[in-house]
Structure 1
Amino acid sequence: MALRVLFVAGEFPPIKTIGRLRSAKFVDYLRKDGFDMTVLTTEANASVSGFDPALLDEVPSAIELLRVPMLDTEAVLLDPLKQMVRHLGRAPDKPSQAPSTPPASTSSAANNRLNLKQHSIDAFKWIVRNWIEVPDSYWLWAARAEAVADQYCNNTKVDLVFTSLPPFSAARIGFRLKRKHGIPWVIDYRDLWYGDVLREWISPIRRRLELIRERRYLRYADAVVAVSEQKTAFLQTLQPKSSARFLTLTNGYDPEIYAPYLAEPRAPNATIDFVFTGRLFKNRRGYSFAEALGQLVAQQPALRARVKVHILGGVSAEIRQRYDEILAQYHIQDLYRFTGDLPYQEAMRAQVQADYLLLIVDTGTTSSGVIPGKLFEYVAARRPIFALTDPGATQQIIERGKIGTVVPAESVAHCREKLAQWLQRPVPEQLTGDWAYLAQFERRNISKRLASLLLDVANNSDSPTPAHSTN
């Protein structure tokens, strides 16, 4: 009899996030390997942020879908506050009579009420983000999804629960099902929870409280998966008492998805085009490339007509502002094009048609273990990669696979030196990589290893409940 897996994924098609791909592909390949797959995820319709109807084709066939609506914390908690403080901005009704106070005084009082109203809302938003949405904005969804999962497990024999993180709120679902139903539980870390470079804004007190919770979850898990050896080792240090199996399964790529785009002839470019596809936010910035290019153009003005940089994806307001300052400083505004988000298919075509692919990796204390999913899209696109990343897992794959060059993420000098070399050489027609080495990152091969792990956990775990511990 096939094993039934309840796969909990807050990010899943057709919601457009990079995290959706790992979950969707795991589910699809596991189904093809004979598992019965049930996916517990968020509701998806045109009213949901990130909904992309073109991604409906990514939803694997012949699976059971349990979709639970997302709840907006602000809608649940903030709207009543807005109703309450709205009265602060409204003058009290009075009988019609001559004004007893000068118009200027009336205007000042109204402004004070409006300011108080806005300050109250801003303060409440800060409290929500920092102390209510813990560990993330999916906390209300996870509470409702847990009830749905519990009912499902009451009515259906589930052999294993698999939770994909982030959202980190999803971990509570696997934890509760493990404790109540005794179902073996596997956690998949696409990103770190404690120690993630994109969560450094969290206060030390909250970070410590979340760590206590995460350590408890790790103690109960039967297996823990992470996307790099560095992250796997880090997670083991968080909970040395865990008896779970720890395994590294990187993100990957599907050659067949890119095959139609690779079959198209590459259009000749009048300029040397560097293409970045993805988001720039928080610790993922790429300023060093812009500064290096600006300095090279100052030294060699002829480069101005030869180079274009295409940023295809969302850019946070503060990062875009800094880019505008850098580009204006070096007078290279016309060399950068910020296109915004593109449909996934258009992004793949842009990757294949690029002369060079620009990879910008997050910086931070644990960045050595970061392997962005974008790296494997670039591998599939088969174009040379110019990577801004600190030493670690991403550098190892690029250099071992012979698919590009790596410079320290924030070193303008190193970036300028390598960029000058690339601009002096002809753009290669084909990428000559070590494809035998890179084949291990094909998703079908990674999913085979996952299937083996799940079978082992389901068949050999008595799923004992650890003794009560706060660690």
Structure 2
Amino acid sequence: MRFLPSQEFRMGKKQILIITYYWPPAGGPGVQRWLKFVKYLPEFGLEPIVYCPENPNYPIVDESLVNEIPDSITILKHHIKEPYSLAGWLSKGRSKKISSGVIPQAKKQTLVEKAMLYIRGNYFIPDARKNWVSPSVEFLSNYIKEHEIKTIITTGPPHSLHLIGLRLKAILDVKWLADFRDPWTTIGYHKDLKLTEVSKAKHLELEHNVLNSADEIIVTSNHTKNEFRTKTKQPISVITNGYDSHTISVEKKDELFTLSHIGSLLSERNPVVLWETISELIRENESFSEAFKLQLIGVVSDDVIESIYKNGLKDHVDVIGYVNHEKAIKFQMTSQLLLLIEIDSEDTKAIIPGKVFEYLISETPILAIGPKDADVEQIIKSTNTGVYFNYNQKVELKAQILSYFEAFQNNSLNVNAIGLQPYSRKALTEKLANLIKHC
């Protein structure tokens, strides 16, 4: 299916083909990166053409994002065979959780879950969308030649989309930019996929081919850039995710001392040190106990819920579940504190969750816990939007939460953010546009 732009729009603009799996009505931060780029690229003399699946199996859906698709762009859609559809028929709940990234701890996995992870890891390399590669290459090669397109962009994960770019680059005279929203072989969940040595080697081979064939590589963090720099001599640029302006407003902040996490809390993204610290504050401080509420907005692992309850916080937690983008922003703005959690691992230092940038403009302090020297730590510190802790800083963490609570009691809990403009979607799109024009 294709929506054609007006002739006026097409005149004088360089066409670029963007190959993506996630596109509205898909929900989550992954879809917003290129939705926003597409929104602003025409302002910099570029005409984006989006290619995405016709019948995708999205684990998270947000219909409100459909309204943000510019009317003037061309959208190409092509059928995809989704193995998750079959897996969902066999085990709907487990399949949906795994496809959304919520992988149970190994010791708690059922036989069905273990089998699904093994099959996913070793029979679908690099991922479950691999069977979309060949049909897409055939469809797009004809379209690219017919419309004389000279620039293509692939964005992953799923990293199988980079294989589409790899093959198109081999058969056509095009410039190819490969956008990595996450790393490939060093991403944390690879350890959970029960990969054989042969499968690991295949991933590394495909990663090598992509990194050394793309004309330009785009990454979202300096850690990923440094990692890829050891694997290729091709040019690498960092273009982070960002925030977009909006007109959403709220009347006032919550009356309770709400600490809110927006987004997925996976099994390993479970800050026991935080639950223990909050539990201590509740026992020691009656005022804190009466005012505190933990809000979890998004997909939450059963392991995380179990850990929270184990620390006596059942009466203080509200598990809200997934909400659309507009409601998520309202939660950010009405909360007293925003919680940012990353797994305590070397592999996650490169991960900068997309929600971070909306957190920055929410006028709500950020309480962050993650590995030492992560990219997100530098962003929070440089913008003066919150405090970042490592997992071994329990004493400091407890003191900071208490300090925030005292400011809340005195009606003086606020943020004085600085240096946010470089993270605006429009500024980031200008950086991308310049990269495309000079590639």
Per the normalisation by structure 1, the TM-score is 0.80
1:251 to 238, 241, 245: 241
Check whether the contact 2:62–2:325 (CA below 8 A) recurs between aligned residues: no
Tell me, what secondary structure is at the counterpart of 2:16?
strand
Other-structure match for 1:218: 211
Other-structure match for 1:361: 342
CA distance in 1, matches of 2:379, 2:114: 45
1:159 to 116, 139, 150: 150
Matched, 1:433 2:417: yes
Alignment size in residue pairs = 404
Mapping 1:51-450, distance limit 5 Å: 51-73=61-83, 125-202=116-193, 203=195, 205=197, 206-239=199-232, 242=233, 244-254=234-244, 256-257=245-246, 259-261=247-249, 264-267=250-253, 269-326=254-311, 331-390=312-371, 391-409=373-391, 411-426=393-408, 427-428=411-412, 430-434=414-418, 437-450=419-432
Percentage of identical aligned residues: 21
Q: 1:77 to 1:252 in 2, by over 3 A?
A: closer
Residue type matched to 2:39 in 1?
Answer: D
Q: 1:282 to 1:185 in 2, by over 3 A?
A: farther
- What is the CA distance between 1:133 and its match in structure 2? 1.8
- What is the CA distance between 1:160 and its match in structure 2? 0.5
- What is the CA distance between 1:346 and its match in structure 2? 0.9
Tell me, what secondary structure is at the counterpart of 2:332?
helix
- What is the CA distance between 1:282 and its match in structure 2? 4.1
Other-structure match for 2:31: 20
Residue type matched to 1:295 in 2?
Answer: E
Other-structure match for 2:51: 40
Residue type matched to 1:383 in 2?
Answer: T
Residue type matched to 1:222 in 2?
Answer: D
- What is the CA distance between 1:441 and its match in structure 2? 0.7
Residue type matched to 2:436 in 1?
Answer: L
Check whether the contact 1:11–1:17 (CA below 8 A) recurs between aligned residues: no
- What is the CA distance between 1:364 and its match in structure 2? 1.9
Structure 1: gaps of 5 or more residues: 81-117, 458-471
Structure 2: gaps of 5 or more residues: 1-11, 91-109
Q: 1:126 to 1:440 in 2, by over 3 A?
A: closer
Decide which structure has the larger Cα Rg and report it.
1
Could you list the per-position Cα deviations for residues 309-354 of structure 1 after superposition, in whole angstroms to 9, with x for gaps in the alignment? 101111123332333323xxxx321111111111211111111111
- What is the CA distance between 1:48 and its match in structure 2? 5.2
CA distance in 2, matches of 1:137, 1:164: 15
Cα-Cα RMSD: 2.4
Tell me, what secondary structure is at the counterpart of 1:11?
coil
Tell me, what secondary structure is at the counterpart of 1:366?
helix
- What is the CA distance between 1:74 and its match in structure 2? 5.5
CA distance in 1, matches of 2:239, 2:123: 32
CA distance in 2, matches of 1:316, 1:356: 21
- What is the CA distance between 1:272 and its match in structure 2? 0.8
Check whether the contact 2:154–2:162 (CA below 8 A) recurs between aligned residues: yes
- What is the CA distance between 1:50 and its match in structure 2? 2.7
Per the normalisation by structure 2, the TM-score is 0.86
Residue type matched to 2:416 in 1?
Answer: T
Greater CA drift, 214-223 or 357-366: 357-366
CA distance in 1, matches of 2:88, 2:39: 39
